[in-house]
Amino acid sequence: MINLTINGKSVQVEEGTTILEAAKKVNIDIPTLCFLKDINEVGDCRMCVVEVEGRRGFATACIQKVEEGMVVKTNTPAVTEARRVVLDLILSNHDRECLTCTRNGTCELQKLAQEFYIDDIRYKGDRNVHEIDDLSPAIVRDFNKCILCRRCVATCKKVQGIGAIDSTGRGFTSAVSTYKNKSLNDVNCTFCGQCIEACPVGALKEKDSTGEVWRALRDEDKYVVVQTAPAVRVALGEEFGMEIGTNVAGKMVTALKELGFDKVFDTNTGADFTIMEEGTEFIERFTKGGTLPMITSCSPGWVRYIEMNYPELIPNLSTCKSPHQMFGALIKSYYAEKINVDPSKIFVVSVMPCVAKKFERTRDNMSGAGYKDVDAVITTRELARMIKQAHIDFVGLDDSGFDDPMGEATGAGAIFGTTGGVMEAALRTVQEKLTGKEAEKLEYEPVRGAEGIKRATLNINGKEVKVVVASGLKNAQIIMEEIKSGKADYQFVEIMACPGGCVMGGGQPIRTSKERASIDIRSKRANALYTIDEKSVLRKSHENPVLKKIYKEYLGEAGGHKAHELLHTSYVAREKYKLEE
């Protein structure tokens, strides 16, 4: 243990602790900007400088390790002035159009400027002006707002193992860019959106679709249906000051109805259909010698990743569409017939925790009923903006239920939103279909938890089934290399592009670096989904009465011709470009 003093307070911490971490132990806040715990700990921005007695110059608190007897001062006049100079220099080359920025009110740079009372820019000079990259269907990159903190670069490289963006140039020409400054649309970006979650300012954001949705809602000739993903309901409340992980499903449904949607459905129902189709597909491959391991296909960032990086393993992908695409196809076919509405007049909006879903809806073979399965995708953040624009008092809303006849879902559909949830939901159905017996226990603990890779061996009907769950594309790469090299003998693989699964998707509420360092956000959101599952009357997808009815009346058998026509898709090998080393 190391003993030191910070601002006159005695602190005892483990050897190897940084000054920043030690200060937190005694509730001393040191400002940071480029720091992102375990991801970007480089001390580049210099906002966290402190004075250490007996040393010349400043120490950088986020990387400086503590030493025995160290005396630290975090708020001397010299420290305060040094931090203000840093802010002034950043702001001198920053697009300061804060009122029109998507991060207005949630920007970490803006917050620091307020705290240090920056009322004027001391260093005025030339400013770099860059074209905005908005060619992708998912992410907008505005380098005019970039502060070169490189949190996005570190996330793309260290967490996702992609490297679609990197630091280029020197001095005044320094930039965060792509291969040959191409659009994100034309490099090996998977549109996972983790860079957006990492960015402290508005340099990266989702491509806004709220205008398109507002126009549809105001068009009297359109029948506008909205569906919401499981992870949205346990995160949306954060945008209105509610506790992380609060299940706001009832308030969310009420808000959507007040916004003017004709019907509000639950994507969890779509997840139940995904399990029926995916489970049937797995049983077919497992019992009749099909391509194994079968890999889940409900994460569009992951699907784009495998198409670019492991095209030889595309045959291993399940051909199932993701839940919201399946549901969109059913809304424009079965449901359209039921309510006697021309499917061309139905406008389907998906509220997703994911920005890659914006890309997914534009893919080929996503028009099962002859029309695009989904017409618009908005993120959790975009829905929050729409609710605020409509001046709806979200916290004060009463609860409402999803609309019939497409609103009923099982607990298995709910856990789709967290890593391991797709696997667990599938195994509940696969086990009963293979054994013909009701499962005694529905929880599959080995595939739960925060670990990036979880492996398990199960015995189903006397046969050994080896499964693996991976979240985050860097972990996915490890599993793909095992499969490619023949070192692994898996039968079933679940991959989610975002670390922790959809609850930590690129379209979820953005939390500051300090919150990310001190709160287990993933667990809070994931536990809320598991609670929904535990409290559900029905917890197995194949027991969903809506699902049974639609198969009986319309689709026929799971995995049959009609189901394939509406609920399955195909994939393509894609060219990729990486930044030159």
Per-residue pLDDT for 578 more than 80? no
The residue-averaged pLDDT of 269-279 equals 96
Residue given tokens 């040393």 in the structure block: 55
Please list the helix, strand and coil fractions of the chain in percent, rounded to the nearest 5, in that order: 40, 15, 45
- Strands 294-295 vs 492-496: parallel, antiparallel or unpaired: parallel
Per-residue pLDDT for 580 more than 50? no
- How many Cβ atoms sit within 10 Å of the Cβ of residue 297? 24
Query: To the nearest whole number, what is the mean pLDDT of the chain?
Result: 95
Q: Is 513 helix (H, G, I), strand (E, B) or coil?
A: helix
Contact between 506 and 194 under an 8 Å Cβ cutoff? The reply is yes
| pLDDT for position 460 | 84
What is the tens place of the pLDDT at every residue in 372-407?
Answer: 999 999 999 999 999 999 999 999 999 999 998 787
Determine the CATH number of domain 91-206.
3.30.70.20
Q: Is 218 helix (H, G, I), strand (E, B) or coil?
A: helix
Q: Classify residue 171 as exposed, middle or buried by CB count within 10 Å of its CB (0-12, 13-18, 19+).
A: exposed
| pLDDT for position 188 | 94
Q: Tokens representing 564?
A: 């394939």
| pLDDT for position 179 | 87
The residue-averaged pLDDT of 488-512 equals 97
Q: What is the pTM of this model?
A: 0.95
Domain boundaries, the chain: 2-75, 91-206, 210-567
Residue 199 region, left (φ>0) first, then alpha (ψ -120 to 50), else beta?
Answer: beta
**What Cα–Cα distance (Å) separates residue 55 from each residue in 4, 52, 81, 89, 234?**
15, 6, 18, 25, 48
Contact between 160 and 194 under an 8 Å Cβ cutoff? The reply is yes
Query: Rounded to the nearest 5°, which phi and psi values hold at 258?
Result: -70, -25
| pLDDT for position 108 | 97
Give, for 496, the enclosing helix (H) or strand (E).
strand 492-496
Distance CA 224, CA 348 (A): 6
Residue 480 pLDDT grade (very low, low, confident, very high; cuts 50, 70, 90): very high
Q: Is 317 helix (H, G, I), strand (E, B) or coil?
A: strand
Distance CA 355, CA 504 (A): 11
Q: Tokens representing 318?
A: 């399940």
Q: Tokens representing 30?
A: 């040191």
| pLDDT for position 25 | 95
**DSSP assignment string, 78-137:** HHHHHHHHHHHHHHHTS---GGGSTTTTT-HHHHHHHHTT--S-S----------B--SS
The residue-averaged pLDDT of 202-208 equals 97
Per-residue pLDDT for 205 more than 90? yes
Q: Specify the amino acid at residue 429.
A: T
What is the tens place of the pLDDT at every residue in 141-192?
Answer: 999 999 999 999 999 999 999 999 999 888 878 889 998 889 999 999 999 9
Domain covering 210-567: architecture: 3-Layer(aba) Sandwich (3.40)
The percentage of residues in the chain with a pLDDT greater than 70, rounded to a whole number, is 99
| pLDDT for position 577 | 64
What is the tens place of the pLDDT at every residue in 313-369?
Answer: 999 999 999 999 999 999 999 999 999 999 999 999 999 999 999 999 999 999 999
| pLDDT for position 385 | 98
Nearest to 196 by CA among 63, 466, 349, 380: 380
Eight-class DSSP state of 64? P
Q: Tokens representing 35?
A: 């720091």
Provide CB contacts within 8 A for 111, sequence distance 6+: none
Q: Give the residue with greater pLDDT, 120 vs 52.
A: 52
The percentage of residues in the chain with a pLDDT greater than 90, rounded to a whole number, is 89
| pLDDT for position 581 | 39
Determine the CATH number of domain 2-75.
3.10.20.740
| pLDDT for position 123 | 84
**DSSP assignment string, 50-81:** EEETT-SS-EETTTPBP-TT-EEESS-HHHHH
**What Cα–Cα distance (Å) separates residue 533 from each residue in 301, 421, 538, 539?**
26, 10, 8, 6
What is the tens place of the pLDDT at every residue in 20-51?
Answer: 999 999 999 999 999 999 999 999 999 999 99
Distance CA 347, CA 361 (A): 13
Residue 156 region, left (φ>0) first, then alpha (ψ -120 to 50), else beta?
Answer: alpha
